[in-house]
Structure 1
């Protein structure tokens, strides 16, 4: 009995020994099991975990990433641009001051913007379209076509290329944000993205898997487009994934106290907790 008790104590100690999401140097499993974590969460790890945080640290091809998962049964997704005073938030600090952190699973920057912090592409907040779909040609990442749209309503979320969205989405979603380039299109990496190009920045992106779950990833070190795209295609197995931004990318994770600062931001994505799971 004494030996069994010691074993139980040891197991409990192991299960509690976890690092908060956002720590890039330590690879720990969020489910309390022994051994190194996989590069991406398996469905069993994600859906059975009792850890409050929706985000966890992973290592992919020697690069530290933070992966945050939104599940329709547990979360709602909204976009946010300005506060009640009409002024753009311009950062996660201002957003965090306006919201109850107990209701927020996590938040991230949501796409590219102009000098005033207004989105340069399609943007819908609370069912209201604040910016029309941008199909113009131009320079920069946004115009590295195909670009795309992340959108959704009532717990149904999707990523589509801009052309696909324009041709097939006829009803205005509850939220939507356009950015670019697409990282993965119908299971294939964007044709202009090289395997591991010289451009390395802190970057973030979003993709939706076959179960309808939204995978948000932010790198904790500079990462190439190619490596980030491979993570979505090979590890998260999202048929479509959209680059959100680089250099200014930021995360707010109330569960671990992470609140990134830095350069001013534009549109934001807020993932909130459902009060009760639907029956």
Structure 2
């Protein structure tokens, strides 16, 4: 019994030493009288992924569904949030690329709703970095994103707030989005914890978090999975989802048990 316990303890210590340290920092913050939940991700170290459909082509829809699928390969979600607007069938409204496979093309024209409130933008994942890129710039530069999701409007463009945002606007909703650093190593995901307008939400990214590029994901449908904060929002099914994945090591433990 003692020898078995030592073997298990040794295996767990070995796994903890081999596993990469996670740099996701989730916290609650207050700024300008508004409350926010923030998850700060090291894109150079953490494994950011986009999720839309399972192997059968059915939308995941929920954080719990993704976690169940990941568990089969010894993985789990450290953090996740909805990542772009979608139609009633959960299909993305704009560009959507997942692990090199494109489901929807880039949309560059103005249109109805928040997505069409130009300028909008693309959240682009590449090896070791994540970037928010304005749509027309994205079209011109054609970066080689391994995964990408388009949404809108842009919140912050090269340090400027979106020109249509009005300070003191009474259009207030729960809102979520993402901002990125200039070097692409930092991706900061935010959801408001009270109703906010676009101006105050965008100001949080620029003036408090110090990010010069930020993109709006959505409003009242917004969800946040942050176990470190004791929350994993449930509700109706979502479309595109972005999350950080970690290895759980369960496969090693099961092998030891055999």
Does the alignment reach a TM-score above 0.5?
Answer: yes
Q: Does 1:60 align with 2:31?
A: yes
* Structure 1 spans left out of the alignment, 5+ residues: 1-49
Aligned partner of 1:77 in structure 2 is: 48
* Structure 2 spans left out of the alignment, 5+ residues: 1-20, 249-258
Alignment partner for residue 193 of structure 1, among 141, 147, 165?
165
Deviations 1:154-188 (A, max 9, x none): 112111110010001243x1110000000000100
Q: Does 1:96 align with 2:67?
A: yes
Structure 1 residues 81 and 250: CA distance shift in structure 2, 3 A: same
Q: Which moved more, 1:265-274 or 1:244-253?
A: 265-274
CA distance, structure 2, for counterparts of residue 73 and residue 215 of structure 1:
13
Structure 1 residues 51 and 130: CA distance shift in structure 2, 3 A: closer
CA distance, structure 2, for counterparts of residue 51 and residue 177 of structure 1:
24
Determine if contact 1:182/1:190 at 8 Å carries over to the other structure.
Answer: yes
- The total of aligned residue pairs comes to 225
Alignment partner for residue 103 of structure 2, among 114, 117, 130?
130
CA distance, structure 2, for counterparts of residue 99 and residue 255 of structure 1:
19
Q: CA RMSD in A?
A: 2.1
With normalisation by structure 2, the TM-score equals 0.81
Q: Does 1:150 align with 2:127?
A: no
Whose RCO is larger (CA < 8 A, sep 6+)? 2
Shift of 1:200: 0.9
Deviations 1:93-127 (A, max 9, x none): 32232223964220000000001001000001011
Alignment of structure 1 residues 1-40 onto 2, 5 Å: none
Determine if contact 1:54/1:106 at 8 Å carries over to the other structure.
Answer: no
With normalisation by structure 1, the TM-score equals 0.76
